[in-house]
Amino acid sequence: MEHISDLAKGLYNLQPDAVKKLDGFESENYLLSAGSKKWVLKIYPFSQEKMKLLEAENNMLDHVNSYGPGAFPGLVKNVMDRGLTLSPDHRQIIRVLSYIDGEVWANVEPSPGLHRSLGAFLGRLSRILQHFNDDGIRAREIHWDLAHSLENRGLLQNIKDQEIRRLVHYFLLQYEEHVLPVRYQLRMAYIHNDANDWNVVVKDKEVIGLIDFGDAAYSFQISEVAVACAYAAMGHKNPLKVCVDVLSAYHSEFPLEPIEVDVLYHLIAARLCHSLCASWTKKAMGEDTEYAIVSEVGATSLLQQWLSINPWKARHDFQNSIGLSPGIFEAYPNPTERRKKLLSSALSISYKRPIHMLGAALQYMYDREGNTYLDAYNNIMLTGHCHPWVVEAGQRMLARLNTNTRYHYDILYDYGEQLLSMFPAGLNRVFFVNSGSAATDLAIRVAREYTGRKKVAVVQHGYHGNTQLGIDISHYKYNHKGGHGKKDFVVELDLPDTFRGKYRNTDGAGVNYAAEARELLKLHGRDLAAFIAEPIVGCGGQIPLAPGFLKALYPIVRSHGGVCISDEVQVGFGRLGHVFWGFEMHGVVPDIVVLGKPMGNGHPIGAVVTTAEIADGFANGMEFFSSFGGNPVSCAIGKAVLDVLAEEGLQTHARVVGGYLKDSLVRLAREHPSIGDVRGSGLFLGVDLIREGNGLEPGTALAGYLKNGLRDRHILLSTDGPGDNVLKIKPPLCFTRQNVDILIENMDHLLQNKSYEEKHQ
Ligand code: PMP
Work out the average pLDDT over 105-133.
97
- Any idea which of 100-109, 243-252, 380-389, 501-510 has the lowest mean pLDDT? 501-510
Read off the amino acid at residue 642.
L
Percent of the chain as helix, strand, coil, to the nearest 5:
45, 15, 40
- Kindly state if the Cβ of 434 falls inside 6 Å of ligand 1: no
- Kindly state if the Cβ of 542 falls inside 6 Å of ligand 1: no
- Kindly state if the Cβ of 379 falls inside 6 Å of ligand 1: no
Report the nearest atom of ligand 1 relative to the CA of 462: 3
- Kindly state if the Cβ of 569 falls inside 6 Å of ligand 1: yes
- Give the CA angle between residues 28, 33, 39 to the nearest 5°: 55
Q: Using alpha carbons, select from 531, 496, 500 the residue that is nearest to residue 516.
A: 496
Contact by Cβ (8 Å): 254, 126: yes
Taking the CB of residue 19, how many other CB atoms lie within 10 A of it?
Answer: 17
pLDDT in tens, 605-641: 999 999 999 999 999 899 999 999 999 999 999 999 9
- Kindly state if the Cβ of 572 falls inside 6 Å of ligand 1: no
* Higher per-residue confidence, 707 vs 140: 707
Report the nearest atom of ligand 1 relative to the CA of 465: 11
Report the nearest atom of ligand 1 relative to the CA of 534: 3
- Ligand 1 mean position to 566 CA, how many Å? 12
Q: What is the largest CA-CA distance in the chain?
A: 107
Residue of the CA atom closest to atom 16 of ligand 1: 437
- Any idea which of 464-473, 519-528, 710-719 has the lowest mean pLDDT? 519-528
- Ligand 1 mean position to 384 CA, how many Å? 19
- Kindly state if the Cβ of 465 falls inside 6 Å of ligand 1: yes
- Ligand 1 mean position to 464 CA, how many Å? 5
Distance separating alpha carbons of residues 646 and 573, to the nearest angstrom: 11
Residue 326: the pLDDT is: 64
User: What is the chain's Cα-based Rg?
Assistant: 32
Q: Using alpha carbons, select from 391, 493, 321, 479 the residue that is nearest to residue 172.
A: 391
Residue 1: the pLDDT is: 76
- Kindly state if the Cβ of 436 falls inside 6 Å of ligand 1: yes
646: helix, strand or coil: helix
Q: What is the model's pTM? A: 0.95
Distance separating alpha carbons of residues 704 and 726, to the nearest angstrom: 9
- Kindly state if the Cβ of 473 falls inside 6 Å of ligand 1: no
- Ligand 1 mean position to 570 CA, how many Å? 7
Is pLDDT above 80 for 757? no
Distance separating alpha carbons of residues 475 and 564, to the nearest angstrom: 18
- Kindly state if the Cβ of 562 falls inside 6 Å of ligand 1: no
Residue of the CA atom closest to atom 12 of ligand 1: 436
Report the nearest atom of ligand 1 relative to the CA of 466: 16
**DSSP one-letter string for 176-237:** HHHTGGGGGGSPEEEE-----TTTEEEETTEEEEE---TT-EEEETTHHHHHHHHHHTTT-S
Contact by Cβ (8 Å): 661, 683: yes
Residue 756: the pLDDT is: 45
Contact by Cβ (8 Å): 509, 515: no
Q: Using alpha carbons, select from 378, 342, 385, 345 the residue that is nearest to residue 362.
A: 385
Residue of the CA atom closest to atom 10 of ligand 1: 464
Task: Show Cβ contacts of residue 455 under 8 Å, excluding neighbours closer than 6 positions.
Answer: 489, 490, 491, 524, 527, 528, 529, 562
Residue of the CA atom closest to atom 1 of ligand 1: 464
- Kindly state if the Cβ of 538 falls inside 6 Å of ligand 1: yes
Is pLDDT above 80 for 319? yes
Distance separating alpha carbons of residues 460 and 93, to the nearest angstrom: 81
Which mutation among 381, 475, 597, 728 tests ligand 1's pocket best, with the greatest number of atoms within 8 A of CB? 597
- Kindly state if the Cβ of 437 falls inside 6 Å of ligand 1: yes
Work out the average pLDDT over 478-486.
95
pLDDT in tens, 362-411: 999 999 999 999 999 999 999 999 999 999 999 999 999 999 999 999 99
Helices 632-647 and 388-398: angle between axes, nearest 10 degrees? 160
Taking the CB of residue 263, how many other CB atoms lie within 10 A of it?
Answer: 26
Report the nearest atom of ligand 1 relative to the CA of 435: 15
Q: What percent of the chain has pLDDT over 90?
A: 90
675: helix, strand or coil: strand
Which mutation among 437, 459, 460, 599 tests ligand 1's pocket best, with the greatest number of atoms within 8 A of CB? 437
**Residue 440: its H or E element:** helix 436-451
